[in-house]
Chain A
Amino acid sequence: NAGVTQTPKFQVLKTGQSMTLQCAQDMNHNSMYWYRQDPGMGLRLIYYSASEGTTDKGEVPNGYNVSRLNKREFSLRLESAAPSQTSVYFCASSEVQSPTEAFFGQGTRLTVV
């Protein structure tokens, strides 16, 4: 099983450019999440989706949009990238019922110059 697959693994953007980070899971999970990880900040929740067709803001949603395309896929879009969005981005999925073990992708290292 592939688990959670993120693409791309690395990306460099210029300020103002847009891009979409893709995430797909093959575990039939209902919940999917996008996090960013900065040094000393742990994982901060950007957006999450408890089920297909629903999305909700997390702790740091500004500058991002998401789409839950179907049960498998949850994409994160940066419309106009800023240097403050330089980070490592992780997608995760889990079942809705607690306890919820989250399975993570390998991350996307994004640099905005």
Chain B
Amino acid sequence: TQLLEQSPQFLSIQEGENLTVYCNSSSVFSSLQWYRQEPGEGPVLLVTVVTGGEVKKLKRLTFQFGDARKDSSLHITAAQPGDTGLYLCGGTSYGKLTFGQGTILTVHP
């Protein structure tokens, strides 16, 4: 059983659509992070959220940390084929960095 539950597991959309990926837990985390992974590579950090209620924007990506620091969401506006990849949320608790199952996003031209 993983501490972090991500949904949906798979997302297949057309270019230009918006989407949201969710990361939920019953545990409180000191910080939550979102990573993106390309095939054959290790994950690369997109953003870290630390404060409850925090919202961070990275171009067309918007990240939000829940008020209770147990959940987070990633929203992509006007998705592009270059956004295709595996998106992972990770949380640090008691020195351990654990991850959700990941969301495989495919954006079709």
Query: Could you list which residues of chain A lie within 8 angstroms of chain B, going by C-beta atoms?
Result: 4, 31, 33, 35, 40-45, 48, 50, 56, 58-59, 90, 92, 94, 96, 98-102, 104-107
Contact A90 B42 (CB under 8 A): yes
Contact with A along B55-79 (1 / 0, CB 8 A): 0000000000000000000000000
Cβ 8 A contact of A102, one of B2, B9, B97: B97
Contact B97 A99 (CB under 8 A): no
Interface size on B, residues (CB 8 A): 26
A98 to B31, CA, bound (A): 7
Contact B101 A48 (CB under 8 A): no
A35 to B98, CA, bound (A): 9
A46 to B42, CA, bound (A): 16
> Which residues of B are found within 8 Å of A59, using beta-carbon distances?
2, 98
Contact A98 B2 (CB under 8 A): no
What is the CB-to-nearest-CB distance from A46 to chain B, in angstroms, rounded to a whole number?
Answer: 11
A48 to B96, CA, bound (A): 7
Contact B43 A104 (CB under 8 A): yes
Contact A42 B92 (CB under 8 A): no
In residues 23-48 of chain B, which contact A (Cβ within 8 Å)? Answer: 30-31, 33, 35, 40-45, 48
Contact B43 A33 (CB under 8 A): no
Contact A42 B41 (CB under 8 A): no
Contact A100 B97 (CB under 8 A): yes
What is the CB-to-nearest-CB distance from A59 to chain B, in angstroms, rounded to a whole number?
Answer: 7
